[in-house]
Amino acid sequence: MSLLHVEQLKYRYPNRSVLALDEISFTVDKGEFIGIAGRNTAGKTTLCYALCGLVPHFFKGAYGGRVLLDGDEILASSLSRITSKVGFVFDNPFSQLSGAKFTVADEIAFGLENLGLPREVMHERIQESLHMLGIEHLRRKNPFDLSGGQMQRLAIASIIAMQPEILVLDEPTSQLDPQGAEEVFTIVEKLTQDGMTIVMAEKKMEKLAAYSDRILLLHDGKLIQDGEPAVVFSREDLMEMGVEPPIYTTVAKKYGLRKESSPFPVTLEELLAFEMDEPLDGLFPLQEKLETSHIHIEELSFSYSDGQKVLDSITLDLSSEPIAIVGQNGAGKTTLVKLMKALLIPSDGRIVIDETDTIDTTAAKLAKKVGLIFQNPDDQIFKKSILDEVMFGPLNMGITKAEAKSLALQQLKAVGLREKAEENPYDVSLAERKLIGVASILAMDPDIIIFDEPTMGQDYEGKLRLQEIIAGLHAKGKLVICILHDMDFVSEVFGRTIVVGQGKVLFDGTTKAAFSQLDIVQQAQIELPHRYQVARAIQQKREFAPRTS
Amino acid sequence: MRNMTLYVHLENGSPVHRMDPLTKMFYVFTSVVISYMLPTHLLVSIVLAVSILMLIIGKVFRSILPIIGVSFVLLASILVVQGFFHPDRATVLWDIGPFTLYKEGFSIAFLILLRVLNMVCAFGVLILTTKPDELVEALVQKGLSHRFGYVLLSVLQIIPQMMALTGKIMDAQRARGLEMEGSLWVRVKSFIPLLGPVVLRSLAETRERSIALEVRGFNSTGKRTRLHELPQYPYGTVAKTLLTSLLLFVIVWRIWL
Ligand SMILES: Nc1ncnc2c1ncn2[C@@H]1O[C@H](COP(=O)(O)OP(=O)(O)OP(=O)(O)O)[C@@H](O)[C@H]1O
Ligand SMILES: [Mg+2]
């Protein structure tokens, strides 16, 4: 008997007309690693909810079919019984905090206390999970004072410590630095060896391909295919469903590299079995330098109220072209851009935007000059409808309601949310909320636009849109600054990259040069863009290949 | 986001910090009750002085000031209402335009003021020097249901949590051009557009939180355990006995003697 058995599952959220899940059937055996792929709104999160009982026990609505967990029907079971077997990691780590604990270690303990574990066991598990996720140094910190990525690590740690039989993760690495993301996959794979079963929704297809046993491909609430990664990613119609296969598969498809009628390779190793060349065209573009606003940062230092130095005498000049900021979780990236927006005041040093020192102005006065899209979209949203949300900024600039509305609708169209303008922002997915944030800032047409992790949770289409938006802004003479953990996006869009680590600038120069310095890549916990990895691997293979003739 | 509680953390603690939560609760109860039973300004002042002394020993006196500041509006209105309008009007203390302040009313108002101040300070001793989770845990160990404990904990955090949430929304609004810094009028004006969002967001957060609690096994029916052992307070029994005797003494004295 399989551990999870899903049969003809159908579900519709209350007051909705479309099915979020439509006749889904599959089974999962103990110790399997199942990946869920699909574009935004495909139904990944809802499927996760259905596996851990939140659908139908918390989210009501129309429910049909059956989900059997270890033979017990989820519909008939109580939520607390289900959650004792199934652990669930949310897509937004902030929503997962208990709110009852005041240190990171105690937060992990919250779940363990509810399980009634003896004290020694709790201490052991806390230590172990802190160590696994690399957050031991934060154990005494208040969970609400963590950076986005640190919080995500905590969210994963606090569920892993509970050692559920089945672990369901909804995009658990969306805010992690690249090496952190890799670590999470390794950890999770190790857990499957100890018999834990994993179901993970993810956008990082290279990782899904490398780690999962099977992939469930969802589209519009339907299960399109349930199969091995190679088979699923070899589908011809993948892009039509808004899913980009792993880069390795894309390269292989381009050159027709596969053994007769077998699927295309999905990992780097498999790809390298073939002879080919991967020219780096399109990678590391050098952007045209234009006349833009200018940010001058001088000897900038900053500490939060706990006194720990987060930024340590940073000097930078930002202008002329789109700039990427990359680096490890907790490096101080978000803090840096909040300072640029005058939401925080430097402890030392100064930031001058065009002619204005941020100390002499206010965030509100800077609104027309600098727009900041927050890392956590929920921190940015406060209105009851998406349209109102986007109109808020323009209205503050003193234009008429009608004008504000037309501006807002125009921006909502640009991010692909025009149809949802009247909806409540809390009813759309995290990735869509992120786009609301983008639209609400762009509607004010500031001269400098700072994005804090815009690609977070975005699918192929969303990223393409962002890429267009950034190019359009640049062409209009705006200065675009982007914090990113997606190195592929960095290497395809930005000519200049700044690498920060532990409050310092480790590198500032062309994107190409940034990725040529392997020691810095290592130190900053980032990775090489996938296509660049391919090119390097081919080159290495050639150099080490025994020469014939 | 700032620290989510009113609790003041001290690196080395203080004698008051080390007191166990139950003893402190006993103290609050006794202090508040007897301040209302004692008849004279002098006696109530002594009770108040003890509370203030506790705050000073606990090194948190400065943190009570803003709270007193907040309750000042309430206190001032007591003074006004009682001072001007208390029915016992004999001795005129002051004439302000058409209004007259009477000594009797003022005296009673002053007594009430002392009592309210004492209440604020006594609660301050408890709230400022006790970790909220330990406070609630102490009650849960005495038989309070853990669900109610969580509710209590949320109540204790309402003010700091609202402050944190307000801070977040203010950041979001000022980032989009709503001026909140500057003159008093600007601040007052920016306060109104905050209210709706704060309510909206707290509702959304409450919903999220209840999902989070489910997922973390909060509603499981099994026995639960506790990571931290509550530190034993060696003088707990003595202190509680003393407080109880004092309370009984005052009751007996005021009612029968
Ligand atoms: N409100 C706060 N109070 C205290 N410390 C904070 C606060 N916010 C952030 N920090 C700390 O400051 C450091 C930098 O945080 P920041 O959010 O700038 O990191 P980041 O580079 O944006 O990380 P991420 O990639 O995870 O978003 C972290 O160590 C974090 O724990
Ligand atoms: Mg950040």
HSE (CB half, 13 Å, CA atoms) of B173?
A: 24
Nearest to B181 by CA among A252, A384, A358, A143: A358
Smallest-distance ligand from the CA of A325: 1
Does residue B9 fall inside a structural domain?
no
Structure tokens at A170: 């909804």
Neighbours of A289 (CB within 10 A): 11
State chain A's mean pLDDT as an integer: 91
A437-473 pLDDT tens trace: 999 999 999 999 999 999 998 999 999 999 999 999 9
Neighbours of A115 (CB within 10 A): 21
Give the best residue of B136, B178, B216 to mutate against chain A (max A CB count within 10 A).
B216
Residue pair A289/A334 in contact (Cβ under 8 Å)? The answer is no
Q: Which residue of B has its CA nearest to A437?
A: B172
Return phi, psi of residue B56, to 5°.
-70, -45
Which amino acid, A241? Answer: M
B212 has a chain A CB within 8 A of its CB: yes
Q: How far apart are CA A248 and CA A94, in angstroms?
A: 34
Does residue B184 fall inside a structural domain?
yes
Q: Which residue of A has its CA nearest to B229?
A: A119
Does residue B173 fall inside a structural domain?
yes
One domain for residues B93 and B177: no
A503 Cα nearest atom in ligand 1: 14
Percent helix, strand and coil across chain A, each rounded to 5?
40, 20, 40
Does residue B4 fall inside a structural domain?
no
DSSP state string for A366-387: GGGTEEEE-SSGGGT--SSSHH
In A38-112, DSSP assigns E strands to 62-69, 72-73, 86-89
In A343-411, DSSP assigns E strands to 348-353, 356-357, 370-373
Does residue B98 fall inside a structural domain?
yes
Residue pair A143/A105 in contact (Cβ under 8 Å)? The answer is no
Q: How far apart are CA A339 and CA A345, in angstroms?
A: 6
pLDDT given at position A193:
92
Share of chain A above pLDDT 70, in %: 99
pLDDT given at position A549:
45
Q: Which residue of B has its CA nearest to A370?
A: B175
- The tally of domains found in chain B comes to 2
One domain for residues B20 and B91: yes
For B164, the domain range is 144-215
As a whole number of angstroms, the longest Cα–Cα distance in chain B is 69
One domain for residues B125 and B148: no
Please give the torsion angle defined by the CA atoms of residues A485, A353, A284 and A465, in that order, rounded to the nearest 10 degrees: 60
Does residue B226 fall inside a structural domain?
no
One domain for residues B75 and B158: no
One domain for residues B122 and B204: no
A382 has a chain B CB within 8 A of its CB: yes
* Ligand 1 neighbours (beta carbon < 6 A): A 145-150, 175, 304, 306, 310, 329-335, 375; B 1
Q: How far apart are CA A134 and CA A128, in angstroms?
A: 10
Return phi, psi of residue A330, to 5°.
80, 10
One domain for residues B153 and B236: no
Q: Please give the interface size between A and B, counted as residue pairs whose CB atoms are below 8 Å apart.
A: 166
Chain B residues inside the 8 Å CB shell of A80: 214, 217, 219-221
Give the best residue of A91, A102, A123 to mutate against chain B (max B CB count within 10 A).
A102
One domain for residues B124 and B22: yes
Verify whether the Cβ–Cβ distance A58 to B214 is below 8 Å.
yes
**Apex CA A499: angle with CA A497 and CA A503, to 5°?**
145
The ranges of chain A annotated as CATH 3.40.50.300 are 277-364+449-459+476-549
Does residue B81 fall inside a structural domain?
yes
DSSP state string for A394-447: HHHTT--HHHHHHHHHHHHHHTT-GGGTTS-GGGS-HHHHHHHHHHHHHTT--S
Share of chain A above pLDDT 90, in %: 71
One domain for residues B56 and B166: no
Q: For the sheet containing A21-28, what is the strand order?
A: A21-28, A4-12, A62-69, A72-73
B121-143 pLDDT tens trace: 999 999 889 888 888 888 888 88
Q: How far apart are CA B114 and CA A498, in angstroms?
A: 60
Verify whether the Cβ–Cβ distance A106 to B227 is below 8 Å.
yes
Residue with tokens 């709790």: A122
B168-183 pLDDT tens trace: 888 898 888 887 777 7
A139 has a pLDDT exceeding 80: yes
Q: How far apart are CA A507 and CA A450, in angstroms?
A: 19
One domain for residues B126 and B19: yes
Average pLDDT over residues B18-31: 92
Q: How far apart are CA A319 and CA A479, in angstroms?
A: 6
pLDDT given at position B2:
41
Give the best residue of A74, A85, A114 to mutate against chain B (max B CB count within 10 A).
A114
Residue pair A98/B216 in contact (Cβ under 8 Å)? The answer is yes
Structure tokens at A541: 């293979």
One domain for residues B85 and B164: no
Residue A260, judged by CB atoms within 10 A of its CB (0-12, 13-18, 19+), counts as exposed
A115 has a pLDDT exceeding 80: yes
pLDDT interval class at A124 (50, 70, 90): very high
Nearest to A452 by CA among B56, B238, B171, B111: B171
Q: How far apart are CA A12 and CA A514, in angstroms?
A: 47
B residues 213-232 lying closer than 8 A (beta carbon) to A = 213-229
Return phi, psi of residue A496, to 5°.
-120, 135
HSE (CB half, 13 Å, CA atoms) of A49?
A: 22
Nearest to A139 by CA among A161, A114, A108: A108
A residues 433-452 lying closer than 8 A (beta carbon) to B = 440-441, 444
A41 has a pLDDT exceeding 50: yes
One domain for residues B123 and B199: no
Minimum-distance CB partner of B197 among A118, A119, A382: A382
B residues 149-208 lying closer than 8 A (beta carbon) to A = 150, 153-154, 157, 161, 164, 168-169, 171-182, 197, 200-201, 204, 208
One domain for residues B239 and B124: yes
Q: How far apart are CA A364 and CA A73, in angstroms?
A: 54
**DSSP category for residue A349:** E
pLDDT given at position B89:
67
Task: Specify the pairing of strand A323-327 against strand A294-303.
Answer: unpaired
Does residue B153 fall inside a structural domain?
yes
pLDDT interval class at B5 (50, 70, 90): low
Chain A residues inside the 8 Å CB shell of B153: 100
Residue with tokens 């944030």: A437
A270-317 pLDDT tens trace: 888 888 777 777 678 888 888 899 999 999 999 998 888 999 999 999
State chain B's mean pLDDT as an integer: 83
The alpha-helical segments, DSSP class H, found in B38-145 are 41-57, 61-85, 103-129, 132-141
Q: Distance (Å) from the C-alpha of residue B150 to the closest C-alpha of chain A? A: 7
B residues 67-86 lying closer than 8 A (beta carbon) to A = none
A159-176 pLDDT tens trace: 999 999 999 999 999 999
B78-108 pLDDT tens trace: 777 776 777 666 677 777 766 677 777 778 8
- Interface confidence, given as ipTM, is 0.81
B154 has a pLDDT exceeding 50: yes
Q: Distance (Å) from the C-alpha of residue A371 to the closest C-alpha of chain B? A: 7
- Helices B132-141 & B21-37, crossing angle to 10 degrees? 90
- Classified by CATH at the fold level, domain A277-364+449-459+476-549 comes out as Rossmann fold (3.40.50)
- Helices A401-414 & A430-442, crossing angle to 10 degrees? 130
Minimum-distance CB partner of B174 among A362, A374, A378: A362
In A55-142, DSSP assigns E strands to 62-69, 72-73, 86-89
B1 has a pLDDT exceeding 50: no
CA A18 to centroid of ligand 1, rounded, Å: 40
Length of chain B, in residues: 257
Residue nearest to atom 3 of ligand 1 (CA): A145
Displacement of CA A114 from its chain's centroid (Å): 30
Q: Distance (Å) from the C-alpha of residue B237 to the closest C-alpha of chain A? A: 27
Smallest-distance ligand from the CA of A327: 1
